[in-house]
Amino acid sequence: MSDLLQNPISLILAIITAITFLLYLREYNKRRNLESEGDKFLQDIKKKGWENLHQSIKKSQEILGEAELEGIKVIAGSEVELSKLENEYSKKLSQSLETSRRNIDAAQNKLMQFMADLQKKSAEFEEASKVSGQQRINQLFDKVENKLSDFLVQTAQKTSSSIELELKASRQLIDTYKNGQLKLIDENIITMMEQTLSLVLGKKMSLNDQLDLVYEALEKAKIEKFIA
């Protein structure tokens, strides 16, 4: 029974079979009644004679005609009902298919829109990441440039201060040699030391290297007996 309910066509065929069977039973009963009436008719013929034969035959024909007409009406009505059921089933099936198609189209459209939105957001995020990364790199370069600039300025200031201190210390050293050993130092040695100092200060050397070069010049002067 559950299979018939799930399959409308099988249900319709079962209904048609049941109607046909009922019609057959009805016709069978009518024919039995007719046969009974025929037997009765023969008995009446025997009783009433041949004068009533024509009327009985006519009556039988009318009864048969009415039975056939009734059967035709029932069959026609069944066919009409069956046609209505088939049309209604086809209509509902078409409506169901159309609804399913629309739902599928709507789902596909929503999926396509979702994919488009996702791609757009991904592109926006990637662009924002590039911009943010470039900004961070620029900020890093700016910081490095600023620190390097500050370092160079400080180095230049320290270098200038160191040169001034070295120059001052060297001049004090020369003055000390001039004052303490004026009788022992020749003017040529002083000139040589000043030239050495100018040469040293003109080079980009550290303070220790410059002092070492000055001391080396003094030692050289001692060896050459410029100093007593």
N-to-C CA span, the chain: 140
Of the listed ranges 90-104, 139-153, 172-186, the least confidently predicted one is: 172-186
- Per residue in 1-20, pLDDT (tens digit) is 445 445 666 666 767 777 77
The 10s digit of each residue's pLDDT in 154-213 is 766 666 666 567 667 667 766 666 666 555 555 556 666 666 666 656 666 666 666 666
Query: Structural domain boundaries of the chain?
Result: 2-125, 150-223
What pLDDT score does 227 carry?
44
Task: State both tokens at 87.
Answer: 């049309």
Res 19: pLDDT: 74
Q: What was the pLDDT predicted at 17?
A: 73
| CA gyration radius, the chain | 66
List the one residue out of 12, 22, 21, 17 whose CA is nearest residue 4.
Answer: 12
* Alpha-carbon gap, residue 227 to 188, rounded angstroms: 11
pLDDT at 217 over 70: no
Round the average pLDDT of the chain to a whole number and report it: 66
More confident residue, 119 or 9: 119
Average pLDDT of 211-228?
Answer: 61
Rounded to two decimals, what is the model's pTM?
Answer: 0.28
**Helices 8-48 and 53-180, axial angle in degrees (round to 10):** 180
Q: CA dist 212 to 137, 158, 200, 219, Å? A: 45, 20, 10, 10
